[in-house]
């Protein structure tokens, strides 16, 4: 097959290829699309910054009515920390695709915890083990190679006797093709098919032009370093582990975010209660001021008492302003956690959040043995499972490092078949003696087996008329091998450090659970004490007011009793908020946040919660 024939075939293929419909161009169907699909890229959808419809459903008259469940649902649907981690499993999946093809990983073999905390709270971080990459990965996708070339060569000859001319002109056309493939067993195979068309001005050749064809099969098998599936599949297994790790990182992010917004919600509830307490204190001081003013007017009280009461009103007003601004700050933080565009969301920045749930202190607390709580934490904390998987990946990576210690011993085999065909050379045979006429080539002296076109040469290859076989073993032994030994020891030491860190993480989890239980018990005791103190201060204030009305007490003691009551009420609100946060932290530390709040991780991954929004309260 000459250059003109090859060009004609290519042009004919282009002409006969039908126009691609729109569907084929998108990669859905079409035989041509199947050919070009591996060499095209797919567009990743742009980020979505629109909030879920739940946010609008809970808005009315410039107010956002939120229950705790609605707050959690909005966080699962709109929180950007969660949205950011949704890309993690997808990245791990494409890395798995890359490693399955034998590509070098573009990310580390360890995952670890990389979550963002919303609303504060403690966070446990697990350090992923760091190990060497070991042997280079094998390219597992077949590779097709091809070379088509045309050449015109002119070579002056120092001995014209060899070629019959002092200027040898050769026109050469080559078309070589091959396909190679690596296998997880450590085997490499290459199949080649080479074609060469040669036309020379030499009279010494029996055939001109001539066509040579050969097919080759080369197989190489690693016998020591890089041998076996256990070594060559380690990157694929690590990639599978990384998919699990990224899913656990996402789960950890959901837990962290949900725990954060729960704390923010209860902080907002407490801030509202604190504003209510400060309003009550202002009302009491305002009433005292009004009563004193009347008594001064009728002459039963010294004027200085008006100033004293007025100062107390100003102090109460200042406390109320501070409490109200703290409430606005809490609202701003919570809005940012529940919206993809934060406080820039239309209508949300000016909306006032109305929490519809209250913190409830149960009459009795369920007592669960600390061992059971620790067991739940060990099995339910995602970061511990991540650490376990990372340790497994480190052990897999160590196999590659150990394999590099072995000598390189490769067995190889090569099979080759050749065919030759051509036409009788019409160039006269140069005479051996100068001055004598050239000789005419006798066709009877030409082996007719080689006469013919490209088909004859190809048939010789298929019949294996001219086989070549070779086999052997290549050996490469590093003497002393200190670098390989150092790499193995270094990776083992790193693995041992990671195992110690994992044990430290287990110990830390046990400490966190125990501290969370203690904090919950302390918060409950403080709340009970604050309730009793608030009741006492209410009775004390009532007694002082009655004594003051009878003239048996002074305004100083009334003001002091009012201050004590306000402080007791604020302490009760704070202790109740502390209890809510302690219970929330106990759920997080034991890995029960998702279960306790009825969260489905697949809904969190999709960013769509099936639970409907709560009904808005009736208009007052």
| CATH assignment at residue 289 | 1.20.1600.10
Same domain flag for 466 and 384: no
The pair of three-digit structure tokens given for residue 135, joined into one six-digit string: 């042997």
Residue 286 located in a structural domain: yes
Same domain flag for 336 and 470: no
List the single range of 249-258, 262-271, 485-494, 549-558 with lowest mean pLDDT. Answer: 549-558
Return d(Cα 111, Cα 244) in angstroms, integer. Answer: 9
Residues 6 or more apart whose Cβ sits within 8 Å of residue 24 = 30, 32, 33
Confidence of residue 300 (pLDDT cuts 50, 70, 90): confident
How many structural domains are present in the chain?
3
Residue 478, Cβ density class (10 Å: 0-12 exposed, 13-18 middle, ≥19 buried): middle
Same domain flag for 337 and 255: yes
Side by side, the strands of the sheet bearing 143-156 are: 143-156, 167-182, 187-200, 207-222, 408-424, 467-476
Longest dimension (CA), the chain: 158
HSE (CB half, 13 Å, CA atoms) of 402? 12
Same domain flag for 500 and 376: yes
Return d(Cα 16, Cα 30) in angstroms, integer. Answer: 15
Answer for the pair 263, 121: CB distance below 8 angstroms, yes or no: yes
Residue 130 located in a structural domain: no
Return d(Cα 267, Cα 580) in angstroms, integer. Answer: 9
Return d(Cα 355, Cα 274) in angstroms, integer. Answer: 14
Residue 589 located in a structural domain: yes
List the single range of 100-104, 318-322, 384-388 with lowest mean pLDDT. Answer: 100-104
Return d(Cα 53, Cα 39) in angstroms, integer. Answer: 40
Same domain flag for 282 and 372: yes
Residue 600 located in a structural domain: no
Same domain flag for 434 and 496: no
Domain's final residue, options 441, 476, 511: 476
Same domain flag for 327 and 249: yes
Return d(Cα 253, Cα 115) in angstroms, integer. Answer: 5
Q: What is the pLDDT of residues 185-200, one digit of tens each?
A: 999 999 999 999 999 8
The β-bridge relationship of strands 143-156 and 167-182 is antiparallel
Same domain flag for 156 and 29: no
Backbone angles phi, psi at 569, to 5 degrees: -65, -45
What average pLDDT does the segment 557-563 reach?
88
Return d(Cα 7, Cα 129) in angstroms, integer. Answer: 57
Which range marks the domain in which residue 25 is found? 1-39
List the single range of 388-392, 436-440, 499-503, 567-571 with lowest mean pLDDT. Answer: 436-440
Closest Cα partner for 106 from 138, 142, 133? 133
Closest Cα partner for 337 from 609, 83, 80, 611? 80
Residue 605 located in a structural domain: no
Same domain flag for 265 and 339: yes
Same domain flag for 383 and 516: yes
Q: What is the pLDDT of residues 344-358, one digit of tens each?
A: 888 898 899 999 999
Please report how the helices 482-549 and 370-380 are oriented relative to each other, as an axis angle in degrees rounded to 10: 130
Residue 261 located in a structural domain: yes
Residue 508 located in a structural domain: yes
């Amino acid at each position: 097959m000459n250059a003109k024939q090859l060009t004609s075939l290519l042009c004919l293929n282009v002409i006969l290829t039908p126009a691609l419909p729109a569907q084929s161009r998108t990669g859905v169907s079409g035989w041509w699309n199947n050919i070009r699909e591996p060499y095209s890229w797919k567009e990743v959808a742009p980020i979505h910054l629109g909030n879920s419809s739940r946010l609008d459903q809970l808005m009315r008259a410039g107010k956002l009515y939120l229950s705790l469940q609605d707050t959690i649902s909005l966080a699962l649907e709109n929180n950007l920390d969660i949205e950011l981690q949704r890309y993690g499993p997808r990245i791990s999946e494409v890395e798995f695709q890359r490693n399955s093809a034998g590509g070098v990983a573009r990310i580390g073999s360890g995952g670890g915890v990389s979550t963002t905390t919303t609303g504060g709270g403690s966070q446990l971080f697990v350090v992923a083990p760091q190990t060497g990459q070991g042997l280079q990965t094998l390219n597992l996708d077949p590779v097709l190679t091809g070379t088509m070339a045309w050449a015109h060569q002119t070579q002056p000859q120092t001995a014209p006797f060899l070629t019959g001319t002092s200027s040898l002109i050769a026109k050469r056309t080559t078309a070589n093709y091959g396909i190679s493939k690596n296998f997880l067993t450590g085997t490499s195979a290459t199949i080649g098919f080479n074609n060469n068309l040669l036309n020379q001005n030499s009279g010494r050749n029996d055939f001109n032009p001539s066509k040579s064809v050969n097919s080759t099969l080369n197989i190489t098998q690693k016998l020591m370093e890089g041998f076996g599936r256990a070594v060559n599949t380690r990157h694929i297994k690590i990639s599978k582990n990384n998919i699990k790790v990224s899913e656990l990182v996402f789960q950890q992010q959901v837990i962290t975010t949900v725990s954060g917004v729960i704390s923010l919600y209860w902080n907002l509830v407490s801030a509202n209660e604190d504003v209510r307490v400060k309003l009550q204190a202002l009302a009491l001081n305002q009433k005292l001021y009004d009563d004193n003013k009347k008594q001064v007017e009728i002459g039963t009280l010294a004027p200085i008492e008006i100033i004293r009461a007025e100062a107390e009103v100003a102090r109460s007003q200042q406390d109320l302003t501070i409490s109200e601004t703290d409430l606005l700050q809490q609202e701003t933080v919570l809005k940012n956690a529940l919206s993809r565009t934060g406080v820039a969301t239309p209508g949300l920045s000016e909306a006032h959040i109305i929490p519809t749930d209250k913190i409830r202190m149960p009459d009795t607390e369920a007592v669960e043995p600390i061992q059971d709580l620790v067991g739940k934490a060990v099995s339910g904390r995602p970061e511990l499972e991540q650490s376990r998987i990372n340790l497994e990946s480190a052990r897999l990576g160590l196999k590659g490092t150990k394999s590099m210690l072995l000598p390189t011993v490769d067995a190889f085999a090569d099979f080759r078949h050749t065919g030759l065909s051509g036409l009788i050379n019409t160039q006269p045979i140069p005479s051996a003696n100068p001055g004598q006429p050239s000789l005419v080539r006798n066709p009877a002296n030409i082996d007719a087996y080689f006469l013919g076109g490209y088909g004859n040469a190809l048939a010789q290859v298929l019949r294996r008329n001219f086989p070549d076989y070779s086999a052997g073993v290549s050996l490469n032994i590093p003497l002393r091998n200190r670098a390989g030994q150092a790499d193995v020891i270094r990776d083992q030491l790193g693995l041992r450090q990671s195992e110690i860190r994992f044990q430290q993480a287990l110990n830390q989890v046990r400490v966190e659970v125990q501290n969370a239980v203690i904090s919950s018990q302390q918060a409950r005791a403080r709340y009970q004490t604050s309730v009793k103190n608030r009741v006492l201060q209410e009775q004390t204030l009532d007694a002082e007011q009655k004594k003051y009305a009878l003239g048996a007490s002074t305004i100083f003691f009334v003001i002091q009793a009012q201050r004590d009551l306000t402080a007791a009420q604020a302490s009760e609100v704070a202790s109740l908020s502390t209890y809510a946060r302690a219970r929330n932290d106990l759920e997080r530390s034991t890995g029960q946040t998702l279960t306790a709040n009825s969260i489905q991780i697949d809904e969190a991954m999709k960013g769509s919660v099936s639970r409907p929004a709560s009904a808005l309260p009736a208009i007052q």
